[in-house]
Amino acid sequence: MEKKTVIPIMTCFDKNYVIPAAVAFYSLLENASQEYFYKIYVLHTDISINLQEKLTKNISEFSSFASIEFINMENKFDDIWNKIYKGGHFSKEVMYKILVASIFPQYEKLVITDVDVVFLGDISSSYIDFDTAEEHYVAGIKPIGKLKSYYENSYKTSWTDEEIKKLGHICGGYLIANLKKIRKENMEEKFIDCFIKNGHRLNQMEQDVLNICCYPKIKYLPLEYVACTYMWDYYKNEYDMKKDETYTEKEIKYAMENPIQLHYATRIKPWKNVDCTKSEEWFQYVTKTNFLTEYLQSLPEKIISTTVELEMLNKVNENIFKRVINYIKKNPLFFLKSNFYYKLLAKLRKKLKFFRRKEIIYICDDVFPSKLSSFRYEEFLGYWNSFSDVQVLTSDKNLKHIGENKNFDELILDFNNQNRKSHHKITIYPFIDSISQQNFEMKVNEYRKKIAVLDFLNNLINDNNGYLELLEKYQIPFVFTLYPGGGFALDNKETNDKLQRVFNSKMFKKVIVTQEVVRNYLLKNSFCKSDKIEVIYGVVVPNNLLLTEIPDKKYFFENKETLDICFVAYKYMKEGKDKGYDIFIETAKELCKKYKNIKFHVVGTFNESDIDISEIKENITFYGPQTTEWFSEFYKDKDILLSPNRSNQLTKGAFDGFPTGTAVEAMLHKVMLLATDELRQNILFKDKKDLVLIKPEVSDIVNKIEYYYNNPKEIKEVSNSGYNVVKENYSYEKQVVARINILKEELEKM
């Protein structure tokens, strides 16, 4: 009999992944071409002999063309591991993919696969067609275009643009390694060196190392070899497929219809979350393995632990719990429907009060999780990371006002991929269907304590589904920040009616104000008592700005020849009169008549068509709306932020806080602030020392800019002083932690 070609396959996992591995191995071999012999290797440190024997028996029906071998890696490569570990925080197992050439000297090429997968097709051609004589070190699939923003956002703080281009070339879930070439060119030494030098900034560990070191000698496999389950979340229709920057609509559609490997690449796995995307494919195969009984025995705990606190399980009536377990064993497929668990648990909670989870925070907003509203993003991310259970209710109704171009579903998916936590969820409101509303209603009753948090008056009451009625309907107490703007104006009847309605609500607990003028207004008009008002002066700013030093700042006259003046704002009315955009443009025109080396920069939703700029077009640049991260490079050579805000423009009594959030962020980049303060809200900053106060008049602004043009050293002095005041008074503890503590205090009272 002719000897079959061996296809070696390397996997590495610990005892917690034995059942997923059993599914991966069984599905791989059931779909494999029997023309070849598949030699599966398991690299491990803690898989017992009993489990090894069971995994071997799991694939016994395929023994004519497959085998499995376990390699205990304990104490192996410790010398290399000790060097690598100093460079980063990760487990020893990450080394194995970069050391395969040494681990398997008997092979010239080898398949490497993760085990959180199901194989639905034959892998043999990917191995057979890979030619070791070619220049490629490794073959894998290129990430889908939808992940481009993930690489840009996750890596941009630690990697250069050129490095990021290398990092996004192949995914690590399924690879063909050219061991012959790796050995010949001593690539393992380069891999190890890369780990040691970059361990502190690696995100996806061995995948990052392979991308950096192997680029551009990488071969691309067709997308169907790794169809990640998030594709079914990203690509809802043909329009989504057509927008992809990496693959054609035809390639994406074919991969989703004919996946060879289905990869559960996020933290959501079918053996833990039974109704996750494409879980049915995994369950189809777990029923064929010899681990089905163990899995079903563990299923009740997995199901219930996603909904109730584990420590409460021991208090449940023993007979009820046994009946639940027995029911699951007899009816596993029926019990995989998540709606059944909700109904069951709802009945239990009515009888067993202790069976409820302790507390939940509801975040209600109209732009989150867009990063373009940086102060809200930072505040809400603080709650997301500080509480064990969080549900976000959000809508896209105001995304256009902040210039957000991303699809709302994409924003939510990107946020979840980067910040996924159990018992945390983002829900679109108004509810998109009856199922979403039903799930929300069921979840409300799961908790003994609950509280909602919001920013802006309009998020509670507006003409288009404010949250107040929802919170009252489901009896969810709330705390809100009454920022200037967003429906709040002084001595305005519409505002007063809204405030009266909000403060009369039985669900109202506390209001946070950021300006003394707002506190005084509430007390003067008897809207609420002083013990219901918390004052946190200023605005939330991104914590990374507070932690970042500004070492290479450039200043006019000191190390550059131009004076660079910025205007940063969103447009809410014609000509941006509320933000003083018209004043900014007229100021620019006046200064350009005298000075050729003054440049103007506009960031936000304003453009060349809002006001005629033809006479200064050579001296002004528009950048569009940008995220906080973008400004770190932008502000390096900027001198002044002009913030000539006016009150009573959008509506009677409308005004902005002082200083605005964008102004504070500019000051944290050591940019000197010139700002109006018509309502005398300033209580922290000294004029001409920490910032410069201006009138909303072109002549006054021109005179003050000319003074600093002629005395450029003072720009540096003022900007540095303002920077220090902001860092001291706008810290994460004073802004975000203070808000978190208010919520905790309210929960304690319940």
* 316 and 426 together in one domain: no
Listed residues 169, 193, 226: the one ending a domain: 226
* 449 and 501 together in one domain: yes
What's the CA gap between 691 and 595, in Å, rounded?
23
Nearest-10 Cα torsion for 124, 127, 128, 133: 180
* 183 and 303 together in one domain: no
* 218 and 327 together in one domain: no
In our burial notation (b when 16+ CB lie closer than 10 A, e otherwise), range 252-273 reads bebbbeebbbbbbbbebbbbbb
Please choose, from the candidates 485, 657, 642, 495, the residue with its C-alpha nearest in 3D space to the C-alpha of residue 572: 485
Global model pTM greater than 0.75:
no
> What domain range includes position 345?
291-355
**What pLDDT is stored for residue 354 in this prediction?**
46
DSSP 339-382: HHHHHHHHHHHHH-GGGSEEEEEEEEESSTT-TTSHHHHHHHHH
Alpha helices in 34-160 (DSSP H): 49-58, 78-85, 100-103, 124-128, 148-155
* 92 and 211 together in one domain: yes
Listed residues 195, 210, 226: the one ending a domain: 226
Query: Block means of pLDDT (10 residues each) for the chain, length 750 residues?
Result: 88 92 97 96 93 96 96 77 53 76 95 96 96 95 80 69 78 94 93 80 80 92 94 79 87 95 89 84 92 82 49 43 55 54 54 64 95 92 93 87 84 87 85 76 85 96 84 95 93 95 96 95 96 94 85 92 97 94 97 96 95 96 93 95 95 92 95 96 95 97 97 96 94 94 95
* 156 and 46 together in one domain: yes
* 117 and 23 together in one domain: yes
* 702 and 643 together in one domain: yes
* 690 and 565 together in one domain: yes
What's the CA gap between 515 and 658, in Å, rounded?
8
Helix H or strand E segment including 423: none
pLDDT tens digits along 353-390: 444 578 999 999 999 999 989 899 999 999 999 999 99
**What pLDDT is stored for residue 317 in this prediction?**
43
Helix (H, G, I), strand (E, B) or coil at 259: coil
CATH number at residue 452: 3.40.50.2000
In-domain check, residue 301 = yes
In-domain check, residue 508 = yes
In-domain check, residue 232 = no
In-domain check, residue 85 = yes
Residue 2 CB partners (closer than 8 Å, separation 6+): none
pLDDT tens digits along 162-188: 787 777 788 889 999 999 999 999 999
What's the CA gap between 68 and 26, in Å, rounded?
12
CATH number at residue 114: 3.90.550.10
In-domain check, residue 378 = yes
Q: What are phi and psi of 49, to 5 degrees?
A: -60, -40
What's the CA gap between 659 and 560, in Å, rounded?
28
Residue 42 CB partners (closer than 8 Å, separation 6+): 11, 12, 13, 21, 52, 55, 68, 69, 70, 71
Helix (H, G, I), strand (E, B) or coil at 603: strand
- Give me the half-sphere count of Cα atoms (radius 13 Å) on the Cβ side of residue 100: 29
In-domain check, residue 262 = no
* 640 and 717 together in one domain: yes
Q: What is the 3-state secondary structure (H, E, C) of 657-700?
A: CCCCHHHHHHHCCCCEEEEECCCCCCCCCCECCCEEEECCCHHH
Listed residues 226, 250, 273: the one ending a domain: 226
In-domain check, residue 255 = no
**What pLDDT is stored for residue 267 in this prediction?**
79
With contact defined as beta carbons under 8 Å apart, do 730 and 546 qualify?
A: yes
Residue 223 CB partners (closer than 8 Å, separation 6+): 141, 142, 144, 247, 251, 252, 254, 255
**What pLDDT is stored for residue 302 in this prediction?**
62
In-domain check, residue 256 = no
* 147 and 185 together in one domain: yes
* 193 and 300 together in one domain: no
Number of domains making up the chain:
4
